[in-house]
Amino acid sequence: MISDSPSIMRKALKDSLSLPAFILFFTMMGFGSFARSTGFDVEMAITASLFIWGLPGQLVMAELTATGQPVFAIIFACSLANARFLPMVVSFLPTISRPDAKLGQLVLDAQLLSINSWAMCLREFPGIAPEQRRRYFVIFASVILLAAVIGTAIGHSASVLLPQPLVLGLIFTSPLFFTLVLSAVPALSHRLALLSGCLIVPLANEWFPSIDLLLTGLTGGTIAFLIGKSRRKTR
């Protein structure tokens, strides 16, 4: 159990710089270049990465802008694509703050949260003293946010030519990272939630592509919760 501040800082820097910062840098480079091709300035692309800070929504925003959808429809679709932040924030904040913390602090922590820090923190927190978890999260999340913003700027400004197989390998690091991190989730109901999410998403995507993740989360999560609850009762 790590409990002193300097060690936490070192661990957060090491954990973020060893891989996630690199992954965010390359995926946001992809976003920067895509944003430019759809007409967004570099300042707009950077603002989006910095403050939307959720790639699925950013991609939807750029994609729908390119196809000339109405402004309201674009914003609404971006919001839906990032709706996962509600359950993510609710499940994450209690692990780093007391529920009676100031709303302002909770909102700032929520703004800094992304799927990378969410997954990584839930993986690493068992080895970190509770009073140090928020420090770990803030350092980790800030480092990868910085990498994401730099990646966005470079992707937008520089036309980097790389062999396609290499580009594909770099894009694929993101799902690989999440798959490995999530495979270590210990609780039965959470493992069931992961499994049912995988099983349901192809169907949800086929039938209701614009709200596929919301549907997947609600149905898969509810099934996993109910099974987990009945298992706890019988024990």
Distance CA 57, CA 63 (A): 10
Q: How far apart are the first and last CA of the chain?
A: 30
- Is 44:71 a contact under the CB 8 Å cutoff? no
Please report how close the Cβ of residue 40 comes to other proteins at its closest, in angstroms: 6
Q: Which of 9, 13, 42, 47 binds other proteins (CB under 8 A)?
A: 47
State in angstroms the smallest separation of the CB of 3 from other proteins: 21
- The DSSP code sequence of 21-42 is HHHHHHHHHHHHHHHHHTT--H
Phi (first) and psi of residue 132, to 5 degrees: -105, -5
- Pick the binder of other proteins from 3, 4, 5, 41 (CB under 8 A): 41
CB of 8 to other proteins, least distance (A): 19
Of 74 and 139, the one with the shorter C-beta distance to other proteins is 74
Please report whether residue 166 would count as binding other proteins according to CB under 8 A: yes
What track of x and - describes contact with other proteins for positions 174 through 213 (by CB under 8 A)? xxxxxxxxxxxx---xx-xxxxxxx-xxx-xx------xx
Range in contact with other proteins (rule: CB under 8 A) among 1-9, 101-109, 125-133, 140-148: 101-109
Q: How many CB atoms lie within 10 A of CB 214?
A: 17
